[in-house]
Amino acid sequence: MAKGNEPVFKWSLGLIVGVLFCMGKAFADPVMLKPPQLLLAMQQSMASLNYHGTLAILKNAKLDTLQYFHAVQKGVEQERLLSLNSPLREVIRDVDAVSCIYKASQQVVIDHKPIGQSFLQALPEIPAVLDSSYDLIAEGDEHVALQPVDVLLVKPRDQFRYARKFWITKQTHLPLKIEVQDFTGETLEQIIFTDLRVVEQLSSVAVEVKDKKVQHIHQFDDLGLDKLPLQLKHLPVGFEKRVFTRMHLHPSDKAVEQLLLSDGLSSVSVYLEKNPQNFHAGLQTAGAVNSLSRVIGDYSITVIGDVPAATVELIVQGISFSKS
Amino acid sequence: MSDPIHQKISQFLDDDLNQLESLQLLNALQQQPHLQSTMQRYLLINQALKSRPVLAASEGFVAQIQQKLEQEPVYFLPRQSRISPPFFKKAALALAASVAAVAIILPVGMRVISINHTGVLNLAQQQAVKSTKQALLGAHPSDAGLLVSNNSGSSMRMYPVNQRFQDYLQAHNGSLYTTNGVENLQYRAQLASYGKGE
């Protein structure tokens, strides 16, 4: 540094330290929304803003990086993922289907869904539904990717579901980082935006099927909850029946019935399959997902979801067929 | 507070708005960014009322500092001698000796602490559980399954992830599409499209 610049440098350094001190003091005590307001603001921002960025997803000890786009046009959301690593693919989530376009094989798989759930995190339409089973805890502020964030922990009141931790930007209220944690606080899954941009306009993309092999999977019939032939005696607090459908499994084309349960954050499916083949009645685990099966008469019952093993076990044990 | 939107912000912070009104307000805040600074100001007032000390920089504070810096004259003074007086030299030597002593003593102390700490045992146990689980999941699908104890004290068979698990998970939600688990799905999709399903 030139000698003559030293006083200016010292002056600047002093001022910068002063400014940082003042700002640090101002944010030393968490000046943030209350936890329910923060959750509502995050839900509203996630659903209504146009944004895109690079997403790092850590699941089952594997790291994937994807380009993420969220567009809203006339109130209709669309999520789009572009893989940055092989196999190169584009995944588009519309309201009622997830379309996966494979670049190499020029194949399109359209996976029909009864309920649209964000790739980032499913959130309840009414945050108050979480009150019965979760505590919302503000954990102060931090920085993620150089952006100031509020930290919100959604902590379960029992051991039948996982905790979620959100790092929410102060400016836009979008989540920069989301963690799924078990009851000991160990991280099971992590999603981080390494960069995130909010833009005024972002066009939705139509799934291009021309000159491609198109396959529709999981097309379903909504049977209605009143047609449910099962009784669930042991349902953890907060879990509600959402939809009961019949679909054909991919790729075996076997007909199964699916009951979807949710507590607002965690979801569980109960599958009912007649005369299953090569069936194991037992527990299977992959990361945060657990599945447990049992056989009742000619039917196999499988409970699967992003919940602890204790939850699928509790639900399976309480299932019986209705007398009617 | 005559402006209705300001009143709404205040009510929102006091939890006096229902969900619909809150969402409408949050929408308005997104469309009118200047209202966000209003909300931040109200939050600070809220904080101040709770009698916690809060220091907040005014909006033009940083700009004023930049202006001052630009106005700061540049001095071209002769370079000062870098030779330190004997007192500082001695102090520096003493400081270096202290740092060296700490550098030798601290790692020894830390090693003793870590050996006595039960965390090592816990960690080893966790690793053992994890490796068992991983070995299980990596096992061949035809394996008979491992008997594991569950929370309720009874035991059940644990199987490696199989085709049916993946089918159910794919139908359950879109989480497989966010990971490379979708690689298998592509392979299976190809099989199905050529009529060679399971």
* Inter-chain touch B158–A283, beta carbons under 8 Å: yes
Nearest CA in chain B to A24: B55
Q: Between B126 and B17, where is the model more confident?
A: B17
Measured in angstroms, the CA of B145 and the nearest CA of chain A are apart by: 8
**CB nearest B170 (choices: A105, A111, A291):** A111
Alpha carbon distance A288, A285 (integer Å): 8
Residue A198: its chain B contacts at CB < 8 A?
none
Judged against a pLDDT cut of 90, whether residue B10 lies above it is answered with no
Examine the pLDDT at A217 and tell me if it is beyond 70: yes
pLDDT at B152 over 90: no
> Which of A22, A34, A252 is nearest residue B197 as measured by Cβ atoms?
A252
Residue B77's pLDDT is 63
Helix or strand run (H / E) with residue B27: helix B19-31
Best mutation target among B22, B168, B196 (most A Cβ atoms within 10 Å) is B168
Do B158 and B143 touch, CB atoms closer than 8 A?
Answer: no
Question: Which residue of A112, A285, A302, A315 is the best one to mutate when testing the B interface, meaning the one whose CB has the most B CBs within 10 A?
Answer: A285
- State residue A36's pLDDT score: 92
Helix or strand or coil: residue A313? Answer: helix
Q: Strands A134-144, A147-156: parallel, antiparallel or unpaired by DSSP?
A: antiparallel
Q: Is the pLDDT of residue A255 over 80?
A: yes
- Rounded-to-integer distance, Cα A101 and Cα A119, Å: 16
Q: List the single residue in B12, B47, B171 with the smallest CB-CB distance to A258.
A: B171
Residue A23 has pLDDT above 60, yes or no: no
Q: How far is CA A264 from the centre of its chain?
A: 11
Across the range A82-101, mean pLDDT stands at: 87
CB pair distance less than 8 Å for B171 and A249: yes
Contacts of A171 in chain B (CB under 8 A): 36
Q: Which residues contact A317 (CB under 8 A, 6 or more apart)?
A: A234
Q: How confident is the model at residue B29 (pLDDT cuts 50, 70, 90)?
A: confident
Could you report the per-residue pLDDT of A135-193, keeping only the tens digit for each?
999 999 899 888 899 999 999 999 999 999 999 999 899 999 999 999 899 999 999 99
Q: What distance in Å separates residue B97's CA from the closest CA in chain A?
A: 29
Cβ <8 Å between A122 and B173:
yes
Distance in Å, alpha carbon of A322 to nearest chain B alpha carbon: 23
Task: State which residue of chain A sits closest to B79, comparing Cα positions.
Answer: A3
pLDDT band at B112, cuts 50/70/90? Answer: very low
- Closest-CA residue in chain A for B39? A33
Q: Are A15 and B177 an interchain contact pair (Cβ–Cβ within 8 Å)?
A: no
From chain A, pick out residues whose CB is under 8 angstroms from the CB of B139. none
B163 contact partners, CB below 8 Å, separation of at least 6 = B141, B198
**pTM of the complete model:** 0.70
Share of chain B above pLDDT 70, in %: 38
Which is nearest to A181 in space by CA: A193, A196, A167, A195?
A167
Residue contact B186–A107, C-beta within 8 A: yes
Going by pLDDT thresholds of 50, 70 and 90, the confidence category of residue A306 is very high
- Please determine, for residue A268, whether its predicted confidence score (pLDDT) is greater than 90: yes
Count Cβ atoms within 10 A of the Cβ of residue B157 and give its class: 0-12 exposed, 13-18 middle, 19 or more buried.
middle
What pLDDT was estimated at residue A302?
Answer: 94
Q: What is the pLDDT of residue B55?
A: 56
Contact yes or no for A310 and B162 at CB 8 A: no
What mean pLDDT is reported for chain A?
A: 87
Does pLDDT of B14 surpass 90? no
Interface predicted TM-score (ipTM): 0.79
The CA-atom distances, in angstroms, between A115 and each of A129, A234, A296, A306, B116 are 17, 24, 28, 16, 52
Distance CA A308, CA A285 (A): 9
Q: Which residue has the higher pLDDT, B49 or B159?
A: B49
Report the share of chain B in percent with pLDDT over 90: 0
Suggest the residue from B49, B180, B187 to mutate for an interface test with chain A (most A CBs closer than 10 A). Answer: B180
Assess whether pLDDT exceeds 50 at residue B191.
no
What is the arithmetic mean of pLDDT over A83-90?
A: 83
Q: Is the pLDDT of residue A259 over 60?
A: yes
* B45-104 confidence digits (pLDDT tens): 877 776 555 555 565 665 676 677 677 766 666 665 555 556 666 677 777 777 766 665
